[in-house]
Amino acid sequence: MELTVQDIVTWIEKANEKMQANKEYLTTLDQEIGDGDHGINMARGFQEAAAKLADNDYPDAEAVLKDTAMTLMSKIGGASGPLFGTAFLKMSVASKEAETLDYETFKHGLKEAVEGIKQRGKATEGEKTLVDVWAKMADLFNKETDFSADKIADEANDAMEQTKDMMATKGRASYFKERSIGHIDPGSASSQYIFTALAEVIGGKL
Amino acid sequence: MKKIINDPNEVVHDMTEGMIAAHSDELKQISGTTVIAKVNAPISGKVGVISGGGSGHEPAHAGYVGNGMLDAAVAGEVFTSPAPDQVLEAIKAADGGAGVFLVIKNYTGDVLNFEMAAELAEAEGIKVEKVVVNDDVAVDDPSSRRGIAGTIFVHKVAGAKAEQGGSLEEVKAAADKAVNNMRSMGMAMTPCIVPAAGSPSFQLGENEMEIGIGIHGESGIERKEITAADDIAQELTDRVLNDFDFTGEAAVMINGLGSTPEMELYIVNKKVQSILAEKGITVYKTFVGEYLTSLEMTGCSVTLLKLDDELKTLLDARAQTPAFHS
């Protein structure tokens, strides 16, 4: 199986729908251990990205991922803009001249995305950040041999849930120290929406 | 939520237009951006000094754009760092060929976006240097300390050095010196409401206060029963003094967070001055007022900056901006 340009556009559209539907929930998560704007920012960024993709025609996967990256980077703001933007930018670079994304290309892109997020945010696994979801997804893709909607959705959800018991050591939640335990990391929650949206696109093709 | 706004999503846009209208002799907006620059920026041969970050901290950051302080400021959404492309526009607006100096507060978002913008600017051939302000002693680990009200001292020091014709390296050295000799600590009695969120960032009981808050409506490091101004002043000042040796001469800033009357800030200042006198610290200059706010949060912070001759000169140098004159 492989993802076409249209599949990637649908992926971002579905991710946008989830950001809009869960905007207040994400903001509530962020009010608990951050500054309370994550839902607002993600909803704004993905709305702009979905609108941008709808208005344009793209020759290949690289181009659509790049436009997604640049829009997220400039429209989300905060720490999330550079981090989610970097993730999609790395996926774009890793898909160089690929018209569609086969499993190997996607797997490679995801690995690069995780490296990019870690490097940009100077973060690693276990620090209660979006890295905890993205790194788990890269691990899953390494273990598997083809896209599996169910496994992607389940793993993303598990990875997000696991951030609940972590103590934040990176980002604004780290100021809360022990008080950050017991709350799902907002960046992990929005990452989970991104991968659930991907699972839906894959599920729709099977 | 009771606020004098139109569309919660347009507050930054509406604010910058209103600000330009009020200060059109001093400020201009860079078209298509949220960057506010000095009317005559960029100034050829002078190091450009820029700052910025989320909105909601007024008069920061654009209030400090003017002679002797910032050449440009970039406004993000409320409490949200501006994106790299916007920061790049501010860098370009301030670049007079001698390089641009970035004053960044130590928040993940600000650091990431400003660093990316610096990389983009360098790719375009603009020399860039930066300082990351981390004056908040509420956080133990110095590497994750937030930048709060002391940032205004850094604007002043870096801006004065650039105005005197300092090179990019000299501006950086002066700003680094200010950051290394400065500590702050804040407290709040009420949360604030981000317009687009529409509800308070945290809840505090009638008799409670938060010690060690940042400037984004986040809660502090400790919640306790509210006490008299003298006790609050004592606690904030002790935390600052326990972290750094201020023996000698210092500048003091008592900063209001948006909803604390000047009367109360002066009451805090009275106690801070007496504590410093007891400790043998000579106060060279005192600043009391709203310099870096957190929307309508009630509360204050205490900042101390240890001075040497160079910092005294830079602090005293003439500055003329909408929010700061000296």
| Cβ pairs bridging A and B (under 8 Å) | 95
B67 and B45 within one domain: yes
- Among B11, B13, B80, B215, the strongest candidate for a mutation testing the A interface, having the largest count of A CBs within 10 A, is B80
CA distance A183 to chain B (A): 15
What pLDDT is stored for residue A172 in this prediction? 78
Q: Pick left, alpha or beta for residue B74 (phi over 0 → left; psi -120 to 50 → alpha; otherwise beta).
A: beta
B198 and B61 within one domain: no
Q: Which residues pair with B188 in a beta bridge?
A: B210, B299
Dihedral angle sign, alpha carbons of residues B101, B103, B108, B114: negative
Average pLDDT over every residue of B12-26: 97
Dihedral angle sign, alpha carbons of residues A89, A95, A99, A100: negative
What pLDDT is stored for residue A37 in this prediction? 82
Q: Which residues of chain A does B191 touch, with a Cβ-Cβ cutoff of 8 Å?
A: none
| Contacts (Cβ under 8 Å, ≥6 apart) of B117 | B84, B85, B86, B87, B88, B90, B91, B102
Tell me whether A196 touches chain B (CB under 8 Å).
no
Smallest CA-to-CA distance from B279 within B243, B238, B312, B226 is with: B238
d(CA A39, CA A45): 10
B1 belongs to a structural domain: no
Q: What's B49's domain CATH number? A: 3.40.50.10440
B237 and B302 within one domain: yes
**Structural domain count of chain B:** 2
B229 and B141 within one domain: no
B171 and B187 within one domain: no
B3 belongs to a structural domain: no
Kindly state the tokens that stand for A60: 């290949």
B127 and B111 within one domain: yes
B224 and B129 within one domain: no
B213 and B143 within one domain: no
Average pLDDT over every residue of B214-226: 81
Q: Do A175 and B214 touch (CB under 8 A)?
A: yes
B170 and B59 within one domain: yes
Smallest CA-to-CA distance from A35 within B75, B15, B298, B192 is with: B192
B142 and B47 within one domain: yes
B174 and B106 within one domain: yes
Annotated catalytic residues of B are: 57, 216
What Rg value do the Cα atoms of chain A yield, rounded? 16
Assess whether pLDDT exceeds 70 at residue B219.
no
Q: What percent of chain B has pLDDT over 70?
A: 99
B322 belongs to a structural domain: no
Which of A40, A80, A175 has the CB atom closest to B218's CB atom? A175
Dihedral angle sign, alpha carbons of residues A21, B215, B80, B147: negative
| pLDDT, tens only, B226-245 | 999 999 999 999 999 999 99
Average pLDDT over every residue of B154-173: 98
What pLDDT is stored for residue B198 in this prediction? 85
Range of the domain at B222: 182-315
| pLDDT, tens only, B64-103 | 999 999 999 999 999 989 999 999 999 999 999 999 999 9
- Whether the model clears a pTM of 0.90, i.e. scores above it, the answer is no
CATH 1.25.40.340 fits A2-204, yes or no: yes
Q: Which of B140, B159, B180 is the last residue of a domain?
A: B180
Name residue B29's amino acid: Q
d(CA B57, CA B71): 18
Tell me whether A83 touches chain B (CB under 8 Å).
yes
| 3-state percent breakdown (helix, strand, coil) of chain B, nearest 5 | 35, 25, 40
A12's enclosing H/E stretch is: helix A5-21
Check: CB of residue B258 under 8 Å from CB of residue B290. Answer: yes
Tell me whether A78 touches chain B (CB under 8 Å).
yes
Q: What's B309's domain CATH number? A: 3.30.1180.20
Average pLDDT over every residue of B249-261: 98
Q: Quote the DSSP letter at residue A93.
A: H
Tell me whether A48 touches chain B (CB under 8 Å).
no
B41 belongs to a structural domain: yes
Helix, strand, or coil (residue A132): helix
Q: Which of B157, B180, B203 is the last residue of a domain?
A: B180
Place of tokens 């993205």: A134
pLDDT-based confidence at residue B312 (cuts at 50, 70, 90): very high
B288 belongs to a structural domain: yes
Helix, strand, or coil (residue B264): helix
A113's enclosing H/E stretch is: helix A103-121
Per-10-residue mean pLDDT of chain A, 206 residues long, equals 96 98 94 85 97 96 96 91 95 93 97 96 94 98 96 98 94 84 96 98 90
A147-161, A171-185, B153-167, B262-276: least confidently modelled range? A171-185
B5 belongs to a structural domain: no
What pLDDT is stored for residue B303 in this prediction? 98
Q: Which residues of chain A does B107 touch, with a Cβ-Cβ cutoff of 8 Å?
A: 79, 172
Tell me whether A19 touches chain B (CB under 8 Å).
no
Q: Do B217 and A74 touch (CB under 8 A)?
A: no
B204 belongs to a structural domain: yes
